[in-house]
Amino acid sequence: MLDLKLLRENPDRVQTSLNRRNGSYDIQPILSLDSQRRELEQTRSQLQTRSNEIGKLVGQKMKSGTKPDDTEILALKAEGNQIKANLSELEPREKDLKSAIETLLLQLPNLPSETTPDGKSEDENVEIRTWGQEYKPKHAVLPHYEIAEKLGIITTDKATKIAQTRFVALLGAGAALERALIQFMLDTQISAGYVEVMPPLLANTDSMTATGQLPKFAEESFKCSDDDLWLIPTAEVPVTNLYRDDIIDGAELPIQHCAYTPCFRREAGSYGRDTRGLIRLHQFNKVELVKLVRPETSEEEHQKLLRNAEAILEALQLPYRTIELCTGDIGFGAGKCFDIEVWLPSANTYREISSCSNFYDFQARRGNIRFKESGQKGTQFVHTLNGSGLAVGRTMAAVLENYQQEDGTIAIPDVLKRYLGRDTL
């Protein structure tokens, strides 16, 4: 959520920054409602002050011997009663205005960082680096879903029978490979200093709102019809919300968590895209990295988080590239974002496998997550960061393609052999 004070005091700067995004955002309705609310607040304050004065005057006059039915006393009481009536009308109007302002603020995206490149679409994202060219297969390979079916380690037909399309079931060595990837990712990130969390897979509306999934992305999420609970689209939601409404001791920062969870997304608007395989599913596994940091260190911590995610691909010797998203492609809550894309040789292209975002204080304001330094009176909002470390299914797809041998077997990456106890699939 954007700071209302920032909108009020720097409207041109905020509007200019929002205009850099690929969308149409107008802050004037918010400023108009805020002006009305502040006028009501001033009026209410003046009326309250006058009401207090009347109470004192009546008390003083009664104490000095003036009779309760004296004309002046009756007039003061009548004025006081009228003020109370006016206040009873103003308070709900002020409350409604405050609610309307908050509703509009929740619909505004984060301001892109000044260093985020301008652009209208993903075509204008900026490549930062590539890695692992020497590991690209030199021979033609089958798409991961075809080789997986040939090996008998994945079934989509039976998963569709159980649920619906865009679900898969992994069998035998396929399940073992997915589990090995999860354990390897967790072990790597724990060694890098992240504290593991095993969070709930359901989150309430307040939690989904705090991290920015609601209200904008309601259609992308699965909701339990009988409860105020949503299936989490990413572990970012429950892990960040561990600290909602908390005041953290500054000495505890930075806080670093990693979490493996299944993730659930409707993928609304993506019908017809990646309908086969492990790239775009309604349910998929992911290891998430989440950081809560001081504002002055968030840029540095963002780069560290990015390197933590890249390290997984380098250990697996999977070729990848890192790009910085432009203002027209950056996510709703992010102020700065890097995507890591892994090489899929069957399609001769890179595909996103991690998105590493700096939200600055956007999520912290929505979730009221603050910290307090020792010896200081005030509190500050933390900066939150997160990124996939990594999307497990897409990593498995990359392994099945990049490690595919000409005879149709799959060589096991060296770092996974101790988890799987075998050299090939």
Q: pLDDT tens digits, residue range 211-223? A: 999 999 999 999 9
- Going by C-alpha positions, the residue among 154, 265, 279 that lies closest to residue 208 is 265
Which sign does the torsion angle of CA 350, 391, 115, 117 carry? Answer: positive
Instruction: Tell me the C-alpha to C-alpha distance, in Å, between residue 370 and each of 9, 214, 361, 365.
Output: 23, 21, 9, 8
Give the start-end residues of each E strand in 5-53: none
Please provide residue 24's backbone torsions phi and psi, each rounded to the nearest 5 degrees: -120, 110
The answer, yes or no, to whether residue 269 has pLDDT greater than 90, is: no
* Token pair belonging to 3: 């700071």
Arithmetic mean of pLDDT, 224-249: 97
Asked about 166 being catalytic, the answer comes back as no
The confidence band for 271, taking pLDDT boundaries of 50, 70 and 90, is low
pLDDT of residue 73: 84
The answer, yes or no, to whether residue 230 has pLDDT greater than 70, is: yes
Arithmetic mean of pLDDT, 45-55: 90
The answer, yes or no, to whether residue 59 has pLDDT greater than 90, is: no
pLDDT of residue 1: 94
Of the two residues 76 and 313, the one the predictor is more confident about is: 313
CA angle 158, 409, 413 (to 5 degrees): 100
Asked about 406 being catalytic, the answer comes back as no
User: Catalytic: which of 21, 280, 351, 365?
Assistant: 280
Burial class, 308, CB count within 10 angstroms (exposed 0-12 / middle 13-18 / buried 19+): buried
DSSP state of 281: -
Give the 3-state DSSP-derived string for 192-210, with helices as H, strands as E and coil as C.
CCCEECCCCCEECHHHHHH
Q: Are 336 and 112 in contact (CB under 8 A)?
A: yes
Report how far residue 230's alpha carbon sits from residue 224's, in angstroms, rounded to the nearest whole number: 6
Which domains can be identified in the chain, with CATH numbers? 4-106 (1.10.287.40), 122-420 (3.30.930.10)
User: Catalytic: which of 21, 166, 265, 370?
Assistant: 265
pLDDT of residue 380: 97
pLDDT of residue 11: 97
Averaged pLDDT score across all residues of the chain: 95
User: Which residues have C-beta within 8 Å of that of residue 165, sequence separation ≥ 6?
Assistant: 275
What three-state secondary structure class fits 110? coil
CA angle 397, 402, 405 (to 5 degrees): 115
DSSP state of 414: G
pLDDT of residue 268: 65
pLDDT of residue 276: 87
pLDDT digits (tens, 9 = 90+) for 83-126: 999 989 998 999 999 999 999 999 999 999 999 999 999 999 99
What three-state secondary structure class fits 274? coil
The confidence band for 270, taking pLDDT boundaries of 50, 70 and 90, is low
pLDDT of residue 68: 80
pLDDT of residue 244: 98
Asked about 17 being catalytic, the answer comes back as no
What three-state secondary structure class fits 246? coil
Give the start-end residues of each E strand in 123-238: 126-131, 154-155, 169-170, 195-196, 202-203, 223-224, 229-231
Q: Before 151, cis peptide (omega within 30)?
A: no
Asked about 365 being catalytic, the answer comes back as no
Arithmetic mean of pLDDT, 164-180: 97
Asked about 351 being catalytic, the answer comes back as no
pLDDT of residue 410: 97
Length of the chain as a residue count:
425
The answer, yes or no, to whether residue 311 has pLDDT greater than 80, is: yes
The answer, yes or no, to whether residue 272 has pLDDT greater than 70, is: no
pLDDT of residue 61: 84
- Report the amino acid identity of residue 241: N
User: Catalytic: which of 166, 351, 365, 394?
Assistant: 394
Arithmetic mean of pLDDT, 12-41: 96
Burial class, 380, CB count within 10 angstroms (exposed 0-12 / middle 13-18 / buried 19+): middle
pLDDT of residue 273: 66
The answer, yes or no, to whether residue 142 has pLDDT greater than 70, is: yes
Arithmetic mean of pLDDT, 397-405: 98
Arithmetic mean of pLDDT, 129-152: 97
- Going by C-alpha positions, the residue among 245, 216, 221 that lies closest to residue 109 is 216
The answer, yes or no, to whether residue 232 has pLDDT greater than 90, is: yes
Instruction: Tell me the C-alpha to C-alpha distance, in Å, between residue 361 and each of 91, 131, 148, 149.
Output: 30, 32, 43, 45
